[in-house]
Amino acid sequence: MDVLLECERGTEDLYWKFLNQRGMFDFISDIICPLQERGLSIDTQVRNQRATIITNYIRLENQIDIIESIKKRMI
């Protein structure tokens, strides 16, 4: 699976700079515009008609719960 960061059009450079400075492109494959790709998303709210895992945040403390939710959706 690829990990894609979805951001509003026009904010790509801001995210790219933030991620690049922290070496986070080791974990994120690409930055895309909303609804550019199909698949499972992780978000704080349902924003569209695709499968979404809802979480308040993505941090070390809840990574196992998020991974388990992804596994359940993949079966």
Domain that holds residue 38: 4-74
Distance of CA 40 to the CA centre of its chain: 9
Q: pTM, whole model, 2 decimals? A: 0.73
Query: Across the chain, what does the average pLDDT equal?
Result: 90
**What is the distance, to the nearest Å, from the Cα of residue 30 to the centroid of all Cα atoms in its chain?**
10
Whether the pLDDT of residue 33 is over 80: the answer is: yes
Residue type, position 18, single letter: F
Of 75, 54, 74, the residue nearest 65 (C-alpha) = 54
The model's pLDDT over 7-22, given as tens digits with 9 standing for 90+, comes to 999 999 999 999 999 9
Name, in order, each residue with C-beta under 8 angstroms of 36's C-beta and a sequence gap of 6 or more. 6
Give how many domains the chain has, as a whole number: 1
